[in-house]
Amino acid sequence: MDVKWASRIAGLPPYLFAEIDAKKNEMIKKGVEVIDLGVGDPDIPTPDFIIEALKVGAEDPENHRYPSYQGMRSFRVAVADWYKERFNVDLDPDTEVIALIGSKEGIAHAPLAFIDPGDVGLFADPGYPVYPTSISFAGGEPYGVPILKENDFLPDLNAIPEDIRKRAQLIFLNYPNNPTTAVAEEEFFKDVVDFASKNNILICHDAAYTEIAFDGYSPLSFLQADGAKDVGIEFHSLSKTFNMTGWRIAFAVGNKKAIAGIGKIKTNIDSGAFQAVQYAGIVALQNYKSGLQDRIQIFQERRDIFCKGLDEAGLKYHFPKATFYVWFEVPEGLTSKEFSSKLLSESGIVVTPGNGFGEYGEGYARVSTTFSTERIIQAVERLKETKF
């Protein structure tokens, strides 16, 4: 039988990191010792106290049954309490919080709740590839809003054409930003609220990296801006804060009608997150400061090592105040893909080509520092020896 793929997947390019993995495995088969700085997947283990909480939760038979679609109320209360403590944002755990099976799941499903065929979905470009894909899957038209170096990698919302704004139903934003590492301040979020109010566009802010910040910097939540809950929601994840990428536990918070919309999608698509994992998530959020600065210090040290290496290699970069990425400019005369391919074939280093994050990522590459400090040092030495 010749299985026919639906057009929504037939036209998709290979998922960025799957394509990189294929090239990496090719080099490994050739006997190359590859240093992979591609995917942002923390190498530091999940803290022991969270693992112990999971064990307790897993041993409770009550957690072996179908969970709530919205998430355990105790988990939603823990999320609301954490937002109050961390950002001084008040949330109603019954109407303004929903548990997710990882923030990727929530982001991917959100457009199904808000986009009809023919509607426009806006997203920051460069950005997480799931944003435009999820808009397309919902039948919408993805429209990339450039985030450029000259604007500190913040979008110029007023430059979006009027006809696009009229058709747009939502916009995905993400600060601290992946891949550029840029951060946003209160004035920008005020402008975002104003833009959304004037144009009746739902803000979907991906805040997965607010807790990985350096040199005493403390990123804001979009919901701290006046009126934010009237126009938007925020996705947050335990993955980066607690090194829990494989656990698949996250949440969305904010506008109650938007949260209810995501909930309606989830009731028809999944059966909620495993309650034992939610139980561990509660313990994590209630003790979120435990060990966090130690983990941040490791990522800060790695950032400094890699940025020093870029200085010595003569490559320009955006100095990261947050996230565990470094976003740097590729040498003149090379495209992002050419540079990444050259680095892999000649030096055995995997970096992510900037154009994999969108049209406006061309000319850049991204490195993740979620690998051992020793490997970061080795990568820097190889990078400095590479001829461009």
Per-residue pLDDT of 168-179, as tens digits, reads 999 999 999 999
What average pLDDT score do residues 136-148 get? 97
Contact 111, 138 (CB under 8 A): yes
Residue 12: pLDDT band (50, 70, 90) is: confident
Q: How far apart are CA 371 and CA 380, in angstroms?
A: 13
Predicted local confidence at residue 323, as pLDDT: 98
Q: If we measure between CA atoms, which residue out of 98, 58, 95, 63 comes closest to residue 270?
A: 98
Angle between helix axes 373-385 and 292-313 (nearest 10 degrees) is 10
Residue 33: pLDDT band (50, 70, 90) is: confident
**In this structure, is the dihedral angle defined by the CA atoms of residues 279, 282, 288 and 290, taken in order, positive or negative?**
negative
For residue 307, the tally of other CB atoms under 10 A from its CB is 20
Q: Is the pLDDT of residue 11 over 90?
A: no
Q: How far apart are CA 282 and CA 276, in angstroms?
A: 10
Alpha-carbon distance values, 87 to 17, 90, 269, 298 (Å) = 33, 9, 31, 24
Residue 16: pLDDT band (50, 70, 90) is: low
- State pTM to two decimals: 0.95
Strands (E), the chain: 35-36, 97-100, 120-125, 141-146, 168-174, 202-206, 232-237, 250-254, 317-318, 325-329, 349-350, 352-353, 364-368
Residues 6 or more apart whose CB falls under 8 angstroms from that of 80 comprise 90, 91, 92, 93, 96, 97, 253
Q: Which of 8-12, 41-45, 83-87 has the lowest mean pLDDT?
A: 8-12
For each of the domains in the chain, give its residue range(s) and CATH number, in order of start.
Answer: 13-42+291-385 (3.90.1150.10), 48-286 (3.40.640.10)
Could you write out the DSSP letters of every residue in 273-314? --HHHHHHHHHHHHTTTTTHHHHHHHHHHHHHHHHHHHHHHT
**In this structure, is the dihedral angle defined by the CA atoms of residues 106, 148, 335 and 30, taken in order, positive or negative?**
negative
Please write the tens of the pLDDT for every residue from 64-97: 998 988 999 999 999 999 999 999 999 999 999 9
Q: If we measure between CA atoms, which residue out of 13, 11, 7 comes closest to residue 359?
A: 13
Predicted local confidence at residue 346, as pLDDT: 87
- Structure-derived torsion over alpha carbons of residues 227, 233, 238, 239, reported in degrees to the nearest 10: -130
For residue 185, the tally of other CB atoms under 10 A from its CB is 12
